[in-house]
């Protein structure tokens, strides 16, 4: 499945969340429905550049399409609001009947805004809404849940992805360049020969003033895999403000596909990195 189609499907999920599930009339005839719940505790990372919540999902039966939408709102101490969304596109999780937990990174920076800035989250209560949509050739089913999540300074990173076709590890550090004009992140990975695709990364950091989060443009690297170990180099240019030394939050998605037949692999990773 192409990255474009994944972005389309995430957009469809967001539309379903806004309309209350317009596809309800096309739901499957059986009574079983997917379920989603949000854990009561979460994490605030990189001084509020991102928060991470944990979604628990089950499906009544195998489905071909699984779409996930997460949004969050926090009231700060001064009464202002911080609104956040999961970084798009979040690759669709597997949906076994036994259930699956997934750590989802949320940021307040709209990737379509100019400049790329948002408000910083704080440790404390956050209102989180999650919509889970599963579809097959007979129709779609949608379920939504919402709750207060307490986010605190704990670690809920996903720093490593490993499958039979691809292994990728996010580093713990990044290189501070040209007085803050840029940041370089070197990402080691290995993938089977015959696969090709791209990784897409975004870097977020709380500004020196403490209230604002600044973000990079989406940086993309990728090439056909030849087997063996490789290093992807992501260069993040400063946008709304210079980068500074200290913690930042890195979010990476991607898709690798075979030239012939094999299913695509879709990594989703995020972690705090130290810029220095």
In the chain, what percentage of residues exceed pLDDT 90?
Answer: 48
Q: How sure is the predictor about 184, in pLDDT bands with cuts at 50, 70 and 90?
A: very high
Residue 6 or residue 35, greater confidence:
35
**Structure token digits, residue 25:** 């009339």
Q: Picking from 2-16, 20-34, 97-111, 245-259, which range would have the lowest pLDDT averaged per residue? A: 2-16
Whole-number pLDDT of residue 97: 63
Q: Picking from 5-14, 140-149, 151-160, 166-175, which range would have the lowest pLDDT averaged per residue? A: 5-14
Query: Quick check: bond before 115 cis, omega within 30?
Result: yes
Mean pLDDT over 43-55 rounds to 96
Label residue 21 left, alpha or beta by phi (over 0 means left) and psi (-120 to 50 means alpha). left
**Structure token digits, residue 108:** 């307040």
Residue 189 or residue 135, greater confidence:
189
Mean pLDDT over 212-240 rounds to 87
CA angle, residues 265, 266, 268, in degrees to nearest 5: 145
Q: How is 10-70 classified by DSSP, letter by letter?
A: HHHHHHHHHHT-GGGGG--SSS---EEEE-SEEEEEGGGTEEEEEEEEE-SS--SEEEEEE
Whole-number pLDDT of residue 188: 92
Query: Which residue's entry shows tokens 């709209």?
Result: 110
Provide the 3-class DSSP secondary structure of residue 180. helix
Whole-number pLDDT of residue 6: 42
For 153-175, write each residue's pLDDT tens digit. 999 999 999 988 889 999 999 99
Maximum average pLDDT range among 77-81, 134-138, 260-264 = 77-81
The pair phi, psi for residue 156, each rounded to 5°, is: -130, 45
Whole-number pLDDT of residue 93: 59
Per-residue buried b or exposed e for 22-61, using 16+ beta carbons within 10 Å of the residue's own CB:
ebeeeebeeeeebebbbbeebbbbbbbbbbbbbbebbbbe
CA angle, residues 23, 27, 31, in degrees to nearest 5: 145
Mean pLDDT over 115-139 rounds to 89
Q: Are residues 147 and 128 in contact, defined by beta-carbon separation less than 8 angstroms?
A: yes
Mean pLDDT over 195-200 rounds to 85
Q: How many CB atoms lie within 10 A of CB 158?
A: 18
Whole-number pLDDT of residue 23: 36
The residues near 139 (Cβ < 8 Å, ≥ 6 apart) are: 23, 26, 27, 28
Angstrom distance (rounded) from CA 118 to CA 204: 10
The sign one gets for the Cα dihedral 270, 272, 275, 276 is negative
- Domains, the chain: 3-152 (2.60.40.10), 160-275 (2.60.40)
Kindly give the pairing relationship between strand 166-169 and strand 160-162.
antiparallel
Whole-number pLDDT of residue 27: 39
The pair phi, psi for residue 10, each rounded to 5°, is: -65, -40
Q: How sure is the predictor about 110, in pLDDT bands with cuts at 50, 70 and 90?
A: confident
The helix (run of H) or strand (run of E) holding residue 4 is helix 3-19
CA angle, residues 175, 178, 180, in degrees to nearest 5: 70
Whole-number pLDDT of residue 68: 86
Q: Are residues 32 and 60 in contact, defined by beta-carbon separation less than 8 angstroms?
A: yes
């Amino acid at each position: 499945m192409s990255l474009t189609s994944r972005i389309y499907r995430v957009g469809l999920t967001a539309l379903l969340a806004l309309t209350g599930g317009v596809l309800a009339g096309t739901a499957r005839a059986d009574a079983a429905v997917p379920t989603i719940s949000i854990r009561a505790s979460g994490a605030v990372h990189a001084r509020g550049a991102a928060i991470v919540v944990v979604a628990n999902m089950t499906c009544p039966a195998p489905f071909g399409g699984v779409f996930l939408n997460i949004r969050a709102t926090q009231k700060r101490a001064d009464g202002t609001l911080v609104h956040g969304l999961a970084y798009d596109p979040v690759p669709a999780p597997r949906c076994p009947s036994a259930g699956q937990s997934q750590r989802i990174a949320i940021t307040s920076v709209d990737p379509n805004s100019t400049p790329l800035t948002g408000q910083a989250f704080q440790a404390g209560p956050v209102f989180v809404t999650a919509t889970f949509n599963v579809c097959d050739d007979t129709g779609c089913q949608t379920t939504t849940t919402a709750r207060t999540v307490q986010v605190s300074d704990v670690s809920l990173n996903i720093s490593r992805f490993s499958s039979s076709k691809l292994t990728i590890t996010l580093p713990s550090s990044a290189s501070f360049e040209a007085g803050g004009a840029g940041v370089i992140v070197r990402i080691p990975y290995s993938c089977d020969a015959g696969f090709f695709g791209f990784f897409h990364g975004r870097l977020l950091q709380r500004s020196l003033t403490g209230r604002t989060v600044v973000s990079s443009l989406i940086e993309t690297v990728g090439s056909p895999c030849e087997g063996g170990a490789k290093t992807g180099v992501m260069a993040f240019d400063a946008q709304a403000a210079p980068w500074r030394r200290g913690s930042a939050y890195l979010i990476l998605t991607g898709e690798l596909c075979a030239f012939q037949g094999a299913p695509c692999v879709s990594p989703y990773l995020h972690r705090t990195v130290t810029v220095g």
